[in-house]
Amino acid sequence: MSAQTFPFEHFSNYWNIETQQLLQELESTTHGLSTETVQERLKHFGKNTLEAQTELTPIGLFLNQFKSPIILILLVATLISAFVQDWTDAVIILAIIFGSALLSFVQEYRASNAAARLKAQVNVKTKVLRDGQEQTIPTEEVVPGDIVLLSAGSLIPADGILLEAKDFFVNQAVLTGETFPVEKQPGVVSSEAPLSERSNCVFMGTSVRSGSAKALIVTTGTQTFFGRTAKRLSLRPPETEFERGIRKLGNLLTEVMLVLVIIIFAVNVFFHKPVLDSLLFSIALAVGLTPQLLPAIININLARGARGMAAHGVIVRRLSSIENFGSMDILCTDKTGTLTEGVVRLDHAYDFHGQDSEEVKRQAWLNAYFQTGISNPLDEAILACMHNPVPGAEKVDEIPYDFVRKRLSVVVQEEDTRTLICKGALENILSICTHALIDGGVQGITSDHLAEIQSRYTQWSAQGYRVLGIASRVMEVKPAYTQEDESDLCFLGFLLFFDPPKEGIKETIARLQGLGIRLKIITGDNKLVAAHIAESIGFESAKILTGREMDQLSDEALWHIAERTDIFAQVDPNQKERIILALKKMGHVVGYMGDGINDAPSLHSADVGISVENAVDVAKDAADFVLLKRDLDVLEEGVREGRKIFANTLKYVFMAVSANFGNMFSVAGASLFLPFLPLLPKQILLINFLTDFPEMTIATDHVDEVYVERPHRWDVDFIRRFMLIFGPLSSVFDYVTFAVLLWFLKASEAQFQTGWFIESVLSAMFVVFAVRTRLPFFRSHPSPLMIGTTLASALITFVLPYSPLAKALGFTPLPFFSLLMLLVIILMYFVSAEWTKRWFYRSAQNRE
């Protein structure tokens, strides 16, 4: 078969074709494709991904550095300069523009590569049949003709048709808006059937709620229904609060600066300064004043933070969510594996009277051994306590677990007897039992029996045991069994599981509280078990709300009660999501930690969705972060990293608004009274380029504990106040520099431009050491890389006026006394910035 021609490239109405015919047309078999065929199809059809999620190529990322309208205008103006044969300026300006773009590109490219490598560690996988063998492969490698194996928790990787299905229910709300999962089964449906009625099809982007199935993939990637929809809508994730704040700040500064730049250009032309020089000066000024480095700084910070979080066992799936991680002030989590050891053990298998029973344990083992649904620690605990106690038993059928019934049944054949064995939540088991095995005989269940069962259940739950029930019934022979067969069962006894609290969990919770994060437990366990675990982990007088109590509350009432509640017990998936939304409504940044099928809606709804490496696919796909180890200690380190990223990003913002806002006034004023341009266009761009080097290293800077000890939110008003204080402070010393150069040193045009160039670069670089910390600068040590790049840029700044490049750049050597005066002004500025910073933060604390 040629890799270039596939007769099945464009299928229509495949849901109306018999599966055998479809297999032939797709040149596939029920045993799957061969490795060689898969490689051919991957080359032809491409990977099973959506175009909307494709990564930028290196060339595309480099060209992205020039997308700013200001840069494009500057390039056009530079071409005009070349057209009038001002070659020197044109070459220098182009060199600075490309040098700055290259610097930003290298950093962003490294950052994006690092992030991609980390994300690849937790990519979603799919089970397929290849060469007749079951294999687990990255979902992006699925091709048309593949046979995929689906089970509860699986994300459906592409569009296809069912070959086999057993109690198979799919959640396809993302495509159809249907609230409840829909049952799917093999067959043929009408060619005119709308998507919601194609009961024999599975679609990319949907997930398996319960049951198991085998499906034949027909279309992948952008040819799927989900892919075509995503392409039409150009889907993108919603903006985080931090992204929105950064965008608004950048837009505000850019708009204000552009208006001032236009005014400055008009003023220069009015005073008969050269039009071309005035134009280049104004545009170069816009480049120097706008926070154009902000996107690169954010990307570098996020990527470095992602590497730091990965070192602590937290893999970042969505970089834009890292800031939310640091801002999180409430964490909702289940108890199993997070607060407890996660190594569940079966402590007891009791009969009706609470006595150890080998028969109850044997029946439980059969149920756990033959079930093929969701892997869970309870079944693993049952299997661990016995070793193949029934070698002759054979599985006949299975009725999978679901979150409505909260039970699972298997039908087992032992010699001539066929038995349905059902295991699940005690209340749900009792609801289908009419008899009980008591003292070796079967008796009808009376109210006294139920009261006795409830009494034991309450007693064991209060001791921290999770109690399940087990029941059975001899069945007649028939081809298949359904949920309707779960009736008239005989109650056999109890299964008691225990999962002890983790060692040191009290201290971990205390540290999280010290970081300003309140822990809330959301569990399906009953109120008594939840209360016991809360007491054992140090929750004193914990307030508990059950799912039933929650159902009696209006949304508005829940908003207020959820804040004061520590434990939510006996909740279902919809109630989990309702809790998350209630907490968000009260202004909290909410994290949710989950790993099951029923956790996906809550992971989507939370500001910070956290899952674990061994979670089901649908949970990992919904999460923003994946923990390599289910441990709150790991989470704590991740929160610290998130807050460091936020702090380092703010450092650049503070530097940009203080220096840039001040320079606006300085340049505007200088343009009014100077008979020449305060700086040449190429000098402004060179200032921008030289200050870029230290700023690019902000991501490596140390962060003070004050930024880590509590959540921080994006506060535009705070930044605006900072700008209005530190911007004018910068202008004051600019005007001092003007006065010294013009009136005291009697500087010429070239000397003035050289002097202000040196003062602008050095003041912008060194003031960062003051504004980067709330502490006195000598008590907060910057990173060695930041110090090194700053000193290197400072040395270049001093050397340029004395180098062979000086004439081309418009510089002239300054007398030693002039340099000394400039250094005194910079020192005065630094001391003033340090004093003003302390006053500013004291005022901010008083305002709070």
How far is Cα 253 from Cα 264, in angstroms, rounded to an integer?
A: 16
The question of whether 334 is a catalytic residue gets the answer yes
User: Which DSSP string corresponds to 438-498?
Assistant: ETTEEEE--HHHHHHHHHHHHHHHHTT-EEEEEEEEE----S---GGGS-SEEEEEEEEEE
Task: Answer with the residue of higher pLDDT: 408 or 323.
Answer: 408
Q: Say which amino acid occupies 701.
A: D
Of all residues in the chain, the percent with pLDDT exceeding 70 is: 82
What is the per-residue pLDDT across 741-755, written as a single tens digit (0 to 9) for each?
A: 998 888 999 999 999
pLDDT score of 695: 77
How far is Cα 536 from Cα 505, in angstroms, rounded to an integer?
A: 9
CB distance 49 to 221 below 8 Å: yes
pLDDT score of 153: 76
Opening angle at CA 189, ends 186 and 191, nearest 5 = 140
Q: Token pair 């470095």 is at which residue?
A: 304
Run of H or E including 768? helix 768-771
Query: Which residues share a beta bridge with 421?
Result: 410, 472
pLDDT score of 847: 66
* CATH architecture group of domain 317-341+502-628: 3-Layer(aba) Sandwich (3.40)
Residue 121 has pLDDT above 60, yes or no: no
Q: How far is CA 436 from the centre of its chain?
A: 50
How far is Cα 48 from Cα 393, in angstroms, rounded to an integer?
A: 42
Q: Token pair 């479809």 is at which residue?
A: 22
pLDDT score of 275: 76
Domain limits, the chain: 14-56+123-233, 65-114+239-307+639-847, 317-341+502-628, 350-498
Run of H or E including 208? strand 207-219
What's the topology of domain 65-114+239-307+639-847? Calcium-transporting ATPase, transmembrane domain (1.20.1110)
CB distance 342 to 327 below 8 Å: no
How far is Cα 455 from Cα 741, in angstroms, rounded to an integer?
A: 91
Confidence of residue 54 (pLDDT cuts 50, 70, 90): very low
Of 159, 329, 334, 631, the active-site residue reads 334
Q: Is 318 helix (H, G, I), strand (E, B) or coil?
A: coil
What is the per-residue pLDDT across 566-608, written as a single tens digit (0 to 9) for each?
A: 999 888 777 888 999 999 999 898 999 887 766 777 888 888 8
- For residues 224-245, give the mean pLDDT: 61
How far is Cα 749 from Cα 765, in angstroms, rounded to an integer?
A: 24
- For residues 643-647, give the mean pLDDT: 84
The phi, psi pair for 730, rounded to 5°, reads -60, -40
Confidence of residue 561 (pLDDT cuts 50, 70, 90): very high
Residue 780 has pLDDT above 70, yes or no: yes
Q: Residue 387 is encoded by which pair of tokens? A: 């070793």
How far is Cα 251 from Cα 847, in angstroms, rounded to an integer?
A: 27
Opening angle at CA 808, ends 806 and 812, nearest 5 = 35
CB distance 302 to 320 below 8 Å: yes
Q: What is the pTM of this model?
A: 0.69
Confidence of residue 52 (pLDDT cuts 50, 70, 90): very low
How far is Cα 184 from Cα 200, in angstroms, rounded to an integer?
A: 6
350-498 belongs to which CATH class? alpha beta
Q: What is 14-56+123-233's CATH number, 1.10.8.50, 3.40.50.2300, 2.70.150.10, 3.40.50.150?
A: 2.70.150.10
How far is Cα 267 from Cα 501, in angstroms, rounded to an integer?
A: 73
Task: Answer with the residue of higher pLDDT: 27 or 234.
Answer: 27
CB distance 519 to 488 below 8 Å: no
